[in-house]
Amino acid sequence: MPENGGLSGAAGVSRRTALRIGGAAGLLLAMGGGLTAAILRRAGLHSASDTRTRMGTLVHVTVVHPDASRASELAGAAFDEIDRLEAVFSGYRPDTPVSRLNRDGVLVDPPAELVAVVRRALHFAELTGGAFDPTVAPLIEVYRSSFAEADAPPAENAVEEALSRVGYRHVAEDEGRIAFARPGMSLSLDGIAKGYILDRVVALVTGAGAAGVLADGGGDISAGEGEVAGTGWPVGVEHPREPGTMLGTIEVRHQGVATSGDYMRAHTADLRHHHIVDPRTGSSPGHASAATVVARSAMDADALATAAMVLGPVHGIELLERVDGAEGLIVTKELDLVRSSGFGA
C-alpha cells in the first residue's frame, strides 16, 4: 500500500500535518522515560515498542509484559495480525475479498472479519442517516481521479453519476454473501476497518498475557490493559493548524480513540476539498476542521469521527451524545472547540 493511502490506497495530492492524536506511542514516551522505567521495575514489568509502516501510515505498538523478551515477541506478533487483516480489507490490492466484492458486485462466503465490519458499518450508516456510509467509494474515486488528472474538482455531472452508485441501503449481507443491489457500487472501509484491526491487535496481545498494550495507527488508537501507574494511557489532542500545540490530554483505558480531519489528505491548499466526502451531497463538509472521538472500541471511534466530521459541530455532537460510551471534540473551521458533555480534554 502506498504511504498515507489508507486501506484503499487513495492518497491525496497534498498533506497537512495538523490535528492528530499524538498518542502515547508507549508508556516511556507518554509518561517520561525515567519515571516510567521506575514504575515498571517496581511492578516487575517490561515495555517493548515496535513501529512499522502499515495501512498507509506509521503504526506504533507498545506492549507491557512481565517478561522482556515476550513483550518484544508480542509487539512483533501484532504486525503479523495487521498483515493478515490488511489482506482482507484492503481495497488497493486486487486479490482481497473487498476488491473482489467491488469488482464483481457479490462475494460468497466472505471472511468472518469482513462480515463483522460490514455489519457494523451498516449499523453506523443507519444511525447517522447516511453521514457515514461505507458505499462512498465512487465519490472518493471521482474526486481522487479528477484532482490527479486535472488538478481540479470533478464536474457536477460526474459527481451526480457517482452519487447514483452510493447508498448503504443497497448493500445486502445475509446467507453467507455480501452483494450490491446496483451496478457500479463499491465499498470503502477506510473509515472503520483500521480501528477494527487495531482492536484485534489489542485483543490478541492481551489474550497472550500482556499487562498493557497500546496500538496507534496514524490517528486511530486502541488501548488495552495499561494501568501500570494507576492511570490509563495519556493521549494528547493537537491543534488543527498549529502542529505541536496541544488542545488537551485525555486518559483512555479499554477504549478507542480516532481523529478525522480535513488536512489528512487534502486536495486543495485551502482545505475546501479533501478526502472526506459527505455521501449524501457529494462534496467535502465545510464546517469542521477535525473531529476526535473516544468510544468503547477503536472501530466505533473510527466510524463516529468520520460521521462527526461530516455532520459538523451541532449535529455531530448531538450524535455523540446519543451513543452510549462515546465522547468527542469537534474543531470548527473557525477553530472554535465544541465538546460533548463528557469529553475530558
The model's pTM = 0.88
Query: Rounded to an integer, what distance in angstroms lies between the CA atom of residue 236 and that of residue 141?
Result: 32
- Return the pLDDT at 39: 67
Local confidence pLDDT in tens for the 345 residues of the chain: 223 345 654 333 222 222 333 443 332 334 444 446 666 776 788 889 999 999 988 999 999 999 999 999 999 999 999 999 999 999 889 999 999 999 999 999 999 999 999 999 999 999 999 999 999 999 999 999 999 999 999 999 999 999 999 999 999 998 899 999 999 999 999 889 999 999 999 999 999 999 889 999 987 999 986 555 556 788 888 787 877 777 888 888 889 999 988 877 777 777 787 788 999 999 999 999 999 999 999 999 999 999 999 999 999 999 999 999 999 999 999 999 999 999 975
Identify the helix (H) or strand (E) that includes residue 182: none
Query: Rounded to an integer, what distance in angstroms lies between the CA atom of residue 215 and that of residue 206?
Result: 12
Query: Rounded to an integer, what distance in angstroms lies between the CA atom of residue 165 and that of residue 155?
Result: 16
Are 254 and 197 in contact by the 8 Å Cβ rule? The answer is no
**What is the SS3 assignment for 82?**
helix
Radius of gyration of the chain (CA): 20
DSSP 153: P
- Return the pLDDT at 246: 79
Long-range residue pairs from 43-46, CB within 8 A, at least 24 positions apart, any chain: 43/211, 43/228, 45/211, 45/212, 45/228, 46/71
**What is the SS3 assignment for 217?**
strand
For the chain, give the number of residues.
Answer: 345
- Return the pLDDT at 34: 46
- Return the pLDDT at 277: 93
DSSP 3: T
**What is the SS3 assignment for 197?**
helix
**Cell 443507519, residue?**
126
Long-range residue pairs from 24-28, CB within 8 A, at least 24 positions apart, any chain: 24/62, 24/214, 24/216, 24/233, 24/234, 24/235, 25/49, 25/51, 25/60, 25/62, 25/214, 25/216, 26/60, 26/62, 26/214, 27/62, 27/64, 27/212, 27/226, 27/228, 27/229, 27/233, 28/62
Query: Rounded to an integer, what distance in angstroms lies between the CA atom of residue 316 and that of residue 271?
Result: 20
Identify the helix (H) or strand (E) that includes residue 59: strand 57-65
**What is the SS3 assignment for 185?**
coil
Query: Rounded to an integer, what distance in angstroms lies between the CA atom of residue 345 and that of residue 343?
Result: 6
